Chain A
């Protein structure tokens, strides 16, 4: 297992189009997180899954955003009707959680979205 994989690495889209990103976590990890990072800022939490259940969503996650993790493996993040303000790096992370403890977070390389 080579870590957390994200695809694509870069995406340029026109305003109003829909985009979908994929994240493949480390196979032993049961938690998967999505973060968004804009230029000059720290990553901001969007949502996370434990196995296939989406347990928490940030208020940053507007109705245009949807995330899924079918079968508790890979996850997709879809943005509908993209806006220029959606331009950012979208980071995926995974971790293993057991008994209320989380054992580290591993981040993927990110998908850089540019909305023109």
Chain B
């Protein structure tokens, strides 16, 4: 059974600090997504990582993918309050005509002044 595990599930940070969220998955996939979700809202796409070694950055967030280790990371640099949200990683099981995303349980990030 495919598992997608995020670590940590809860993260309380101070503004200005750095931290990394980890996403481990248990099957072969070379496509991984990171999403942000605000309370009561839908999913906002942050990053699409399409190959081993992919690294993408947007503002204070940087995501990377190591398909050999089956690991993706989301690094937060100099956190600000506006980054408070729940972050999900999702592994794409697309194989031929199949296709769906398997999500982790999410990391609830709270950035405090």
Q: Which A residues are within 8 Å of any B CB, using their own CB?
A: 31, 33, 35, 40-45, 48, 50, 55-56, 91, 95, 97, 100-102, 104-110, 112
Write the B81-113 contact mask toward A (1 if CB under 8 angstroms, else 0): 000000010101010111111111110000000
In the complex the two chains form, what is the Cα distance from A101 to B92 in whole Å?
11
B102: which of A45, A50, A105 is its contact (CB, 8 Å)?
A45
Q: How many pairs, one residue from A and one from B, have CB atoms within 8 Å of each other in the complex?
A: 59
- On whether the beta carbons of A43 and B103 are closer than 8 Å, the reply is yes
In the complex the two chains form, what is the Cα distance from A40 to B37 in whole Å?
11
Query: What chain B residues lie within 8 Å of A107 (beta carbons)?
Result: 35, 42-43, 45
In the complex the two chains form, what is the Cα distance from A109 to B98 in whole Å?
24
Smallest Cβ-Cβ distance to B48: which chain A residue: A104
Q: Which of B3-34 contact A (CB under 8 A)?
A: 4, 31, 33
